[in-house]
Amino acid sequence: MTPRTSPEVGGMGHSMRRKEDPRFIRGKGTYVDDVELPGMLWLDIVRSPYAHAKIVRIDTAKALATPGVLAVITGKDLEKYNLHWMPTLMSDTQMVLPVDKVMYQAQEVAAVLATSRYAAADGAAAVSVDYDPLPVVVDPKKALAPGAPVLRTDKKDKKDNHIWHWEWGDRNATDRAFDGAEVTVKQDIYIPRIHVSSIETCGCVAYFDKVNDKLTVWMTTQAPHAIRTVFALVAGHVGLEEHKIRIISPDIGGGFGGKVPVYPGYVIAVAASVLTGKPVKWIEDRMENLQADSFARDYHITAELAAKKDGTLTALRIKTLADHGYTDAAANPSKFPAGLFHVCTGSYDLKAAHVEVDGVYTNKPPGGIAYRCSFRVTEAVHTIERMVDLMAHQLGQDPAELRMKNFVKPEQFPYKSALGWEYDSGNYGGALQKAMEQIGYAQLRREQVEKRQRGQLMGIGISSFTEIVGAGPSKHFDILGLKMFDSCEIRVHPTGKAIARFGTKSQGQGHETTYAQILAEELGIPAKDIQIEEGDTDTAPYGLGTYASRSTPVAGAAAAVAAGKVRDKARKLAAHMLEVAEEDLVWEPGKFSVKGAPSKSKTIQECAFAAYTNHPQGMEAGLEAVSYYDPPNLTYPFGSYICVVDIDTGTGEVKIRRFVAIDDCGNIINPMIVEGQVHGGLTMGLAPALYEEISYDENGNIQGGSFIDYLVPTAVETPKWEVGNTVTPSPHHPLGAKGVGESATVGAPAAIANAVVDALWHLGVRHVDIPITPAKVWKLLRDKGVTE
Ligand code: MCN
Ligand code: CUN
């Protein structure tokens, strides 16, 4: 797409350098931990060594005697204000601090308030807690078995560990399709628990100004407005009303979904500040972040796929156990307890599908956040892409051909999926074709045959994913009742420069640049002349925040709509100045000129000046607009990824030789930023495919609770990504754009897993669960007699 604007204006399609980077690369960003206030106190948290235990006694004497320690806060203290429990985003309840028992290892037990971080840490170490261990439940299947200890004894009538049952689709039609199927494949797939490990951990500085009765919280949150409302709803009864709460998300060092929930530390810091009237800082350390923050995935899936002998796919049936830890604190839209998992028919034209999910309590950290995935889409994509590959291999057909045969075709859009989604646009065959050409697919298949004859293990894996991003529409999407729209407010100053504020919040995605580019495109004001602000609830218009790749689909659309309103008013001003009718003006980015007399024109900057100095009588002064945009549909970005692996027959190590990623996110605002998003996303897809996993031993002890065991890939493990794109605009988005922030993380793991199984299929291997570690592969190779 050739840009409509010049590089100086920097509208859509320009690979403009990021406006935020000069401050970041000079170390001048302002993260929460950079906020220092006079008289600030520190909070540190005492955490449980047990996964399930009664709290017999908390002895605070030694801690209180530690120099610098001012107070130790326990659940009993919070209970006095009814703040010891808080609601989760899924309307479950979560302890802020426990009163009688702990539910997972590393859970908050007490908090120490001190004059320095060191004193707070010393104080936390000096708190002594007597525990009485209780039976631990880590396996969700055992959690549902009769006789399993009931974990949520706080819920009066709860007799088991089952949270909810949810199903979607036509069960009878699906069962009938399976009964009559010529071929079926069935597979258990476990998608392990992983934790976001953004560079910046979570934390806050809470300051309750007793003179003005105003609470200001600088916090690592992806959704500041929603947090303000939730705080007001939870703590209104102790005087924290919404106009007296200001949430500021300053610079954020990576969110990835982990900064959507409310963690107990935030609430305790706020309570401590309200009680003392002093600013209180709480910042997690690296291990607390990894061990106690909300987890992602942890889906135990059984999937079945049915097809005709010729490879026509017909039906999909899925049953899943969703391990939510001790409380369902998932960051999902309220209506969908399993997120958007029911986009699991993926890129394929299936006639029938049915999916069931059961939520289960276990003694693990709570959550169900999405780790760079629009609410369980990674789980959906991994399942369907593994199953389609399994079917292709079962039928002896080429996995690319089987996909091509079953893709939803371009002329079928808008396409209604068997599970009820309306896909906006797509060209799945086009993306796969391009990926195959770029990687040299046919040649690689020939090479694979030759290598196999020589006993070498090489595999080619494909993932042709469909994403679903940009929540709303508000008809179906809300969080705790808050409808999922988003917003943009623009003010154009007299000299033609502008400020625009949004209800979203960048965590590294480059919003200060790309939003300015959208406005430059729509108004012709150079992007460098437009300041973008997000994250301060006292100044930004209400919005639901940044996650689920919703910023471009929703707030980006709001920017286009608000800019349209500014342009409409500018047109009136231009008509007034040029003394012509509005209809006689033609617009090109940055300028109105008179039809047939192009030399007579007014720039947008001249219109802005006139808005304050020369507006017609009867018109309000000023040039500003706001839009609260409720999208008519989600956007469905897609792509095809192809991965080539070589497996070391001696060690079982999987080496990614090549990885081609073709993405389609509709019209692109900034090609360089999109490429950066895809690079980062692919690396975060590689991570769970080969390295990252958090598991628990039978006593609920975390395995993978530090970076010694939790293997975040570095530049050394990361292959050279070969990226490209196709462009299929969204028909309903004002700019034709779709989201892209999560696509690569969603699509990549299946390509890698499929490549590994493709390399091992002839040995009788049908499936390997991620992360595909050398140990797992080596054991398979040993069992199949390839190595000893
Ligand atoms: N973009 C574009 N053209 C498009 C689509 C997007 O130029 N057609 C640009 C956008 O303007 C924006 C970026 O790409 O600058 C990502 O846009 P979008 O897909 O709308 O996603 P969001 O801005 O809503 O970001 C959220 C998404 C999510 S949910 C996770 S998780 C994630 C991700 O972004 N977390 C990130 N990328 C991340 N990147 C960084 N550096 N840090 C994170 O925490
Ligand atoms: Cu899905 S993790 Mo992102 O939505 O912040």
Cα(390)–Cα(463) distance, integer angstroms: 12
Cα(518)–Cα(563) distance, integer angstroms: 9
171 within domain boundaries: no
- Judged by its nearest atom, the ligand closest to the C-alpha of residue 260 is 2
Statement to judge: residues 303 and 277 lie in one domain: no
Instruction: Give the contacts of 415 (CB within 8 A, at least 6 positions apart).
Output: 349, 408, 422, 423, 426
Count of beta carbons in the 10 Å neighbourhood of residue 772? 25
Task: Quickly state the pLDDT bin for 739 (edges 50, 70, 90).
Answer: very high
pTM: 0.98
Statement to judge: residues 267 and 413 lie in one domain: no
Does 488 participate in catalysis according to the annotation? Answer: no
- 676 C-alpha vs ligand 1 centroid, how far in Å? 9
400 within domain boundaries: yes
Statement to judge: residues 222 and 279 lie in one domain: yes
- Judged by its nearest atom, the ligand closest to the C-alpha of residue 532 is 1
- 511 C-alpha vs ligand 1 centroid, how far in Å? 8
Q: Which of 283, 314, 349 is the last residue of a domain?
A: 283
Residue 447, both tokens: 């090479």
Q: Which residue minimizes the CA distance to atom 4 of ligand 1?
A: 668
119 within domain boundaries: yes
C-alpha gyration radius of the chain: 28
Indicate if the pLDDT at residue 776 is higher than 90.
yes
Q: Which of 204, 344, 373, 643 is catalytic?
A: 373
* Host domain of residue 210: 32-134+202-283
Does 373 participate in catalysis according to the annotation? Answer: yes
- Judged by its nearest atom, the ligand closest to the C-alpha of residue 557 is 1
Statement to judge: residues 646 and 617 lie in one domain: no
Q: Which residues line ligand 1 (CB under 6 A)?
A: 254-257, 372, 507-511, 514, 546-552, 665-670, 673-674, 677, 680, 737-742
Q: What are phi and psi of 686, to 5 degrees?
A: -60, -40
- 266 C-alpha vs ligand 1 centroid, how far in Å? 25
CB 119 within 8 A of CB 69: yes
Report the percentage of the chain scoring pLDDT > 70.
100
Ligand 1 atom nearest to 637, measured from its CA: 8
CB 316 within 8 A of CB 307: no
CB 306 within 8 A of CB 347: no
- Judged by its nearest atom, the ligand closest to the C-alpha of residue 742 is 1
Mean pLDDT in the chain?
Answer: 97
Ligand 2 atom nearest to 373, measured from its CA: 1
Statement to judge: residues 130 and 251 lie in one domain: yes
Task: Quickly state the pLDDT bin for 68 (edges 50, 70, 90).
Answer: very high
Cα(426)–Cα(265) distance, integer angstroms: 43
- 373 C-alpha vs ligand 2 centroid, how far in Å? 5
- H helix intervals, 440-530: 441-453, 511-523
Q: Which of 597, 629, 661 is the last residue of a domain?
A: 629
Indicate if the pLDDT at residue 1 is higher than 80.
no
Q: Which of 730, 170, 725 is nearest to 422 (CA)?
A: 730
Ligand 1 atom nearest to 548, measured from its CA: 29
pLDDT of residue 236: 84
- Ligand 2 pocket test: which of 221, 294, 297, 373 has the largest number of ligand atoms within 8 Å of its C-beta? 373
H-helix or E-strand containing 671? helix 671-686
Q: Which of 94, 222, 507, 517 is catalytic?
A: 222
- 542 C-alpha vs ligand 2 centroid, how far in Å? 19
Does 222 participate in catalysis according to the annotation? Answer: yes
Which residues are 122's β-sheet partners?
none
Instruction: Give the contacts of 554 (CB within 8 A, at least 6 positions apart).
Output: 470, 471, 472, 484, 485, 486, 504, 544, 629, 631
Indicate if the pLDDT at residue 593 is higher than 90.
yes
Statement to judge: residues 345 and 222 lie in one domain: no
Cα(563)–Cα(558) distance, integer angstroms: 8
Statement to judge: residues 115 and 246 lie in one domain: yes
Per residue in 31-46, pLDDT (tens digit) is 999 999 999 999 999 9
Ligand 1 atom nearest to 515, measured from its CA: 11
Report the percentage of the chain scoring pLDDT > 90.
98
Q: What are phi and psi of 783, to 5 degrees?
A: -60, -35
Task: Quickly state the pLDDT bin for 235 (edges 50, 70, 90).
Answer: confident
CB 525 within 8 A of CB 6: no
CATH of the domain at 540: 3.30.365.10
- Judged by its nearest atom, the ligand closest to the C-alpha of residue 369 is 2
Task: Quickly state the pLDDT bin for 174 (edges 50, 70, 90).
Answer: very high
Task: Quickly state the pLDDT bin for 788 (edges 50, 70, 90).
Answer: confident
Per residue in 492-525, pLDDT (tens digit) is 999 999 999 999 999 999 999 999 999 999 999 9
Statement to judge: residues 382 and 463 lie in one domain: yes
- 549 C-alpha vs ligand 1 centroid, how far in Å? 6
Ligand 2 atom nearest to 374, measured from its CA: 1
Q: Which residue minimizes the CA distance to atom 33 of ligand 1?
A: 741
Mean pLDDT, range 736-743, rounded to an integer:
98
pLDDT of residue 135: 98
- Is beta strand 422-423 parallel, antiparallel or unpaired with respect to 457-466? unpaired
Indicate if the pLDDT at residue 160 is higher than 90.
yes
- 570 C-alpha vs ligand 1 centroid, how far in Å? 31
Cα(659)–Cα(678) distance, integer angstroms: 12
Indicate if the pLDDT at residue 239 is higher than 90.
no
- Which residue type is seen at 351? K
Q: Which residue minimizes the CA distance to atom 32 of ligand 1?
A: 256
On the CB side of 713, how many CA atoms lie within 13 Å of its CA? 21
Does 372 participate in catalysis according to the annotation? Answer: yes
pLDDT of residue 234: 85
Ligand 2 atom nearest to 375, measured from its CA: 1
Statement to judge: residues 363 and 384 lie in one domain: yes
- Which residue type is seen at 170? D
Instruction: Give the contacts of 345 (CB within 8 A, at least 6 positions apart).
Output: 316, 353, 384, 417, 418, 419
Q: Which of 629, 650, 672 is the last residue of a domain?
A: 629
Per residue in 670-697, pLDDT (tens digit) is 999 999 999 999 999 999 999 999 999 9
Instruction: Give the contacts of 11 (CB within 8 A, at least 6 positions apart).
Output: 3, 4, 5, 517, 518, 520, 521, 522, 524, 527, 589
How big is the CA angle at 515 (ends 509 and 517), to the nearest 5 degrees? 110
Indicate if the pLDDT at residue 455 is higher than 90.
yes
Per residue in 368-391, pLDDT (tens digit) is 999 999 999 999 999 999 999 999
Instruction: Give the contacts of 71 (CB within 8 A, at least 6 positions apart).
Output: 64, 112, 113, 272, 276
Statement to judge: residues 98 and 121 lie in one domain: yes
On the CB side of 430, how many CA atoms lie within 13 Å of its CA? 14
The number of domains in the chain is 3
519 within domain boundaries: yes
- 468 C-alpha vs ligand 2 centroid, how far in Å? 12
Cα(777)–Cα(774) distance, integer angstroms: 5
Ligand 1 atom nearest to 547, measured from its CA: 29
How big is the CA angle at 253 (ends 250 and 258), to the nearest 5 degrees? 100
- H helix intervals, 552-656: 557-578, 604-613
DSSP 584: G
654 within domain boundaries: yes
Mean pLDDT, range 137-147, rounded to an integer:
98
H-helix or E-strand containing 320? strand 313-323
Range of lowest pLDDT (233-242, 443-452, 680-689, 749-758): 233-242
- Ligand 2 pocket test: which of 256, 375, 467 has the largest number of ligand atoms within 8 Å of its C-beta? 256
Per residue in 77-128, pLDDT (tens digit) is 999 999 999 999 999 999 999 999 999 999 999 999 999 999 999 999 999 9
- Judged by its nearest atom, the ligand closest to the C-alpha of residue 222 is 2
Cα(528)–Cα(498) distance, integer angstroms: 10
Mean pLDDT, range 299-323, rounded to an integer:
98
- 471 C-alpha vs ligand 2 centroid, how far in Å? 11
185 within domain boundaries: no
- H helix intervals, 324-422: 377-395, 399-406
- Ligand 2 pocket test: which of 374, 376, 469, 544 has the largest number of ligand atoms within 8 Å of its C-beta? 374
Q: Per residue, what are the HEC states of 724-774?
A: EECCCCCCCCCCCECCCCCHHHHHHHHHHHHHHHHHHHHHCCCCCCCCCCH
718 within domain boundaries: yes
* DSSP letters spanning 222-270: S-HHHHHHHHHHHHGGGT--GGGEEEE--B-S--TTTTSSPPHHHHHHH
Q: Which of 228, 372, 386, 501 is catalytic?
A: 372
pLDDT of residue 367: 87
* Tokens 């391009």 sit on residue: 434
Q: Which of 197, 385, 158 is nearest to 293 (CA)?
A: 197
Mean pLDDT, range 584-602, rounded to an integer:
97
CATH of the domain at 62: 3.90.1170.50
Mean pLDDT, range 553-575, rounded to an integer:
98
Ligand 2 atom nearest to 371, measured from its CA: 2
Q: How many angstroms separate the Cα of 477 from the Cα of each of 340, 473, 577, 654, 733?
A: 11, 6, 45, 40, 17
Q: Which residues line ligand 2 (CB under 6 A)?
A: 222, 255-257, 370-374, 547-548, 742
Statement to judge: residues 335 and 448 lie in one domain: yes
Statement to judge: residues 321 and 443 lie in one domain: yes
Q: Which residue minimizes the CA distance to atom 38 of ligand 1?
A: 509
Indicate if the pLDDT at residue 238 is higher than 90.
no
- 316 C-alpha vs ligand 2 centroid, how far in Å? 26
